Amino acid sequence: MKWNKYTIKTITDAEDIISSTLMDLGIEGVEIEDKIPLSEADKKQMFVDILPDMGPDDNVAYISFYIDSEVDAKETLQNVKHELNELRSYMEVGECTIMESQTEDKDWINNWKQYFKQFSVDDILIKPSWEEVKPEDHDKLMIQIDPGTAFGTGMHETTQLCIRQLKKYITSTTKVFDVGCGSGILSIVSIKLGATYARGIDIDPNAINASIENAKVNQIPEDKFHVEAGNLLEDINLQQEVGCEAYDIVVANILADVLIPLTPVIKKNLKPNGYYITSGIIDKKEEDVVAAVKDNGFEIVEITHQGEWVSVTAKKL
């Protein structure tokens, strides 16, 4: 299916009202480009730690929407122009010119799937649920993942760093707490490696559905894996509910800026001598995380690297 792309040039202050006006006109999904830096909350959710320099905010914003090229867009465009003129009568909306272009043939929701191919982390095969296992991989430990819109195909360096550390410390009696579970990949790998139980939490509600579905596809028994939505950093009830000194391993693949304040919380959840496996740390922030971990009474066991990413594994003393 080909799509016509319509891009409105406006100003940042008018982004919200124009977006909701477009939605009121039945346009589903808009794309906004501007130079406003991401908020701290956006950065955590999107797993972006260090932002490219975009230059100063020039107050210009572009709002794009898409219409199936086979559908007559004349009436919709007339309505859009009419509503933009209405807005202009009582607020500043900038130029509000509309540029038109045609996009490639794309399935916006599923397009990323062409880049997710099966791959191995040592002797663990991680494959999209829609691919077949190649004959040469039949003796590997197989994990099937469909992350949907949650984070966690396993292809990211930080996920692989965590998997390699989990392999070193999981035994048949290990209970794992997977903080920021995303697709559930680290919990599923833990149970497949022999852990007796895994508990996942994530602030992203999409992650919960993805984790439940992925656990089913990987035949994880229901009593071995529980997952729920929540913010471990801010929800004190959740911190207590997940259990004090309840886990042999806490794995947290989250940004350094979240890991640092999360470390004293996680210390309470870990059993004495338990392992704290972290990643999501960009190399420039390695020292900050190491310092926070040591300050909270952990002993650093190992620091591993892949590309520009770092994993710090520590033991609760």
Instruction: Give the residue numbers of the binding site.
Output: 159, 180, 202, 253
Tell whether residue 198 is a contact of ligand SAM (CB under 6 A).
no
Tell whether residue 233 is a contact of ligand SAM (CB under 6 A).
yes
Nearer to ligand SAM (CB atom), residue 44 or residue 285: 44
Distances from the Cα of 63 to the Cα of 31, 74, 126, angstroms: 6, 18, 37
- Minimal CB distance residue for ligand SAM: 180
- Partners of 63 in the beta sheet? 8, 32
β 60-68/31-33 pair status = antiparallel
DSSP string across the chain: --EEEEEEEEEGGGHHHHHHHHHHTT----EEE--PPPPHHHHHHHT--S-----S--SEEEEEEEEETTS--HHHHHHHHHHHHHHHTTS------EEEEE--S--TTTGGGGG---EEETTEEEEETTSPPPGGGTTSEEEEE--TTSS--S-SHHHHHHHHHHHHH--TT-EEEEES-TTSHHHHHHHHTT-SEEEEEES-HHHHHHHHHHHHHTT--GGGEEEEE--TTT-HHHHHHT-TT-EEEEEEE--HHHHHHHHHHHHHHEEEEEEEEEEEEEGGGHHHHHHHHHHTTEEEEEEEEETTEEEEEEEE-
Tell whether residue 186 is a contact of ligand SAM (CB under 6 A).
yes
Tell whether residue 207 is a contact of ligand SAM (CB under 6 A).
yes
Q: Single out the residue of 126, 201, 227, 289 in contact with ligand SAM (rule: CB under 6 A).
A: 201
- Restricting to residues 123-152, name those near ligand SAM by CB under 6 A: 150-152
Q: Single out the residue of 9, 27, 47, 306 in contact with ligand SAM (rule: CB under 6 A).
A: 47
Nearer to ligand SAM (CB atom), residue 22 or residue 162: 162
Burial class (CB in 10 A: 0-12, 13-18, 19+), 123: exposed
Tell whether residue 44 is a contact of ligand SAM (CB under 6 A).
yes
- Restricting to residues 241-260, name those near ligand SAM by CB under 6 A: 253-254, 258
CB 46, CB 149: distance < 8 Å: no
* Least spacing, CB of residue 40 vs ligand SAM, in Å: 11
What are the binding residues for S-adenosyl-L-methionine? 159, 180, 202, 253
Tell whether residue 266 is a contact of ligand SAM (CB under 6 A).
no
Between 10 and 39, how does the x/- string for binding to ligand SAM read (CB under 6 A)? ------------------------------
* Least spacing, CB of residue 202 vs ligand SAM, in Å: 4
- Restricting to residues 51-110, name those near ligand SAM by CB under 6 A: none
Q: Single out the residue of 22, 61, 121, 162 in contact with ligand SAM (rule: CB under 6 A).
A: 162
Nearer to ligand SAM (CB atom), residue 182 or residue 274: 182
Tell me, rounded to whole angstroms, the distance of Cα 275 from its chain centroid. 23
* Least spacing, CB of residue 226 vs ligand SAM, in Å: 14
Nearer to ligand SAM (CB atom), residue 15 or residue 202: 202
* Least spacing, CB of residue 32 vs ligand SAM, in Å: 21
Tell whether residue 277 is a contact of ligand SAM (CB under 6 A).
no
* Least spacing, CB of residue 154 vs ligand SAM, in Å: 7
Residues near ligand SAM (CB under 6 A)? 44-45, 47, 150-152, 156, 159, 162, 179-182, 185-186, 201-204, 207, 231-233, 253-254, 258, 280
